[in-house]
Structure 1
């Protein structure tokens, strides 16, 4: 993930050449790389990286408020009016974002000018790089609070004017210019009870804080410094608190709406792919069965009508059975075959080896037990006045007698 720090003096005419400090974080929060460059150069170098930004402390103010309402929508609606007494600007010119509730039950909130949000939005829109989150810089130190009083340390963040980081248990972190720190500190100490006027300082002396004449302040030097890596780890949260990309700015800067539809779209794509595969498999099976059926029809046609060319087999078979094929006369070949088979069925040992039928005649090859049975069969056919039988040949063998008969109607 790439983290960029927006500069304090970002103006409309300097968007293209604005130089940003950046850190590239690993999943464990360690920053293996950092530097300073403009956003277009960063886009070319880290095009595949997720991007989050830090809003400078001079542009964003953090507050802690007592909010009795609990619903998210109710808090969002009531927040501007709860901050009205603490703000000197028109609420219509400000962007207010509610944050999490702290350990004392009060609600954290961030306030930034709408004009600043629009300038930052234009900066990232200009290079077509989607920003996942925009976090106030002081909010990264919300977990570094002393047990009592104030903790003052030098800010590790790059800035034109040196700053000091002030954290307290009952207030949100603040980044103050070191030149204004003494005046700000006197005003802040004036709001604290006497037993809570404790200052733990790192990198500042009592004289630098203009506290040499205030003996009521318990001043202590501490060796701790600001953990920059730990503060950057705050940005790795899936949904970091106090994200300024909310409300009217959430539409254009947060994840596009179609991304929420990715799971159902992926499921639909998988379903369509499975259905296509199933339809393709069924089509192949049906195509194979069709080919087998066509081959079976051709075999049956060639065996039944060897001297005919197959054009429309169903129609041709119907014409043959009905005697309506070209060149046929009288009754159909189907009835002739039926009458001949009725006589053959009366001979127990007779079996048909093959036959060929036309509307005018039927040629049958039979297997019989003996010549006597053959003569009996011929006598039965001769007894039919409408049938005429001609013996085309007969052979005897180990299995009996094989005879070939031609049966037609008399007078045909």
Structure 2
């Protein structure tokens, strides 16, 4: 059972939940003793909580049905005669079937268990499972184990209890064979039982045995699931916040791109109206411009002008800070001279480079600064 930490409530815990009560807890194969609150702060999840058998009533009962949906409803009626306390105040956990067909049932005070779990849940350290110490003893027959100055009695039989050495002669005949005991070497052996000496720590040894019934059932199963959700809730909250921020960023980016596209479209439309003032309706800029190019392809100078402008329009439109103040076309030279204005020399140089990269012959004439802007003559073609 390595990799899962374990915390053992002592018999004194039956007095009620107390964060200052000293407990034993096992982690990475080592056993330590500390107040319950300190152990909670240091223990690593997942971890198991072992309840002392003194806080639990274990019995075996015949159940009227084997259908899972009816088993839990029938438990209170099946065990109420075997409980000294009001069954309505008890949390009932159903264990496995025994060899004689009866089922093992565990009963624990609901408020007592809830109080201990509340201390753990208050620091976000709810246990992964709940077990009874005497229910985790191994093997067939009867098994006794010396832990915290008393014998735990378990095994394959119905009995789950704690007793002293003086009680064993009374219990021995009712415990099914074989009868085995585990204890430290210095513990006095039981009458008629061979005690196997333990070399290591008893709490570590018990934490490594096969687990018994998990008492985290019914309303306490829901508490465990809720605690697991609370443990992950901060991380899920961060993921949700990241998704919201990402969604907001995408919306802002889309809005900015839409505005940029609208601005380019407006500049292109303005340039088109300057070139073709007779077109009063602008429905499809690209289609109408292509039509003008097609209509004037064989019309000499005008077709050549439109061809050059068609190549340069996209590049010039991509520089929103550049404005065209004057256009001169020379059919003899086959070029277009543009008087352009920009915020700085670097913008003009970038425009020249982009026109050249698009396959046009470009010459940038002398530029002059006029206040906060720069004016230059740009010759395309020729």
Partner of 1:353: 302
**Structure 1 residues 224 and 257: CA distance shift in structure 2, 3 A:** closer
Larger radius of gyration: 1
C-alpha distance in 1, partners of 2:114/2:221?
Answer: 12
**Structure 1 residues 76 and 22: CA distance shift in structure 2, 3 A:** same
Partner of 2:179: 199
Give unmatched runs, 5+ long, in structure 2.
282-294, 304-329, 335-382
Confirm or deny: 8 A CA contact 2:45 2:125 kept in the other structure: no
C-alpha distance in 1, partners of 2:18/2:231?
Answer: 31
Is 1:247 the counterpart of 2:218? The answer is yes
Partner of 2:13: 10
C-alpha distance in 2, partners of 1:69/1:77?
Answer: 10
Is 1:232 the counterpart of 2:207? The answer is yes
Aligned residues: 288
How far did 1:49 drift? Answer: 3.2
Confirm or deny: 8 A CA contact 1:150 1:166 kept in the other structure: yes
How far did 1:12 drift? Answer: 6.4
Q: Secondary structure at the match of 1:9?
A: helix
Cα root mean square deviation, aligned: 4.8
Give unmatched runs, 5+ long, in structure 1.
26-30, 211-218, 306-315, 320-344, 355-394, 400-412
Q: Secondary structure at the match of 2:53?
A: coil
**Structure 1 residues 125 and 222: CA distance shift in structure 2, 3 A:** closer
Within 5 A, what are the aligned runs for 1:3-402?
Answer: 3-10=6-13, 15-25=18-28, 31=29, 33-46=30-43, 49-102=45-98, 105-124=101-120, 127=123, 129-141=125-137, 144-146=138-140, 149-152=141-144, 154-155=145-146, 157=147, 159=148, 162-186=149-173, 188=174, 199-201=179-181, 209=190, 219=192, 221=194, 223=196, 225=198, 229=204, 231-233=206-208, 242-252=213-223, 254-256=225-227, 286-287=258-259, 289-304=261-276, 318=280, 351=300, 353=302
Confirm or deny: 8 A CA contact 1:2 1:50 kept in the other structure: yes
How far did 1:55 drift? Answer: 0.7
User: TM-score scaled to structure 2, two decimals?
Assistant: 0.57
Of Structure 1 and Structure 2, which has the larger fraction of its residues in helix?
A: 2
C-alpha distance in 2, partners of 1:303/1:87?
Answer: 100
How far did 1:60 drift? Answer: 1.2
How far did 1:79 drift? Answer: 1.4
Confirm or deny: 8 A CA contact 2:23 2:36 kept in the other structure: yes
Q: Secondary structure at the match of 1:17?
A: coil
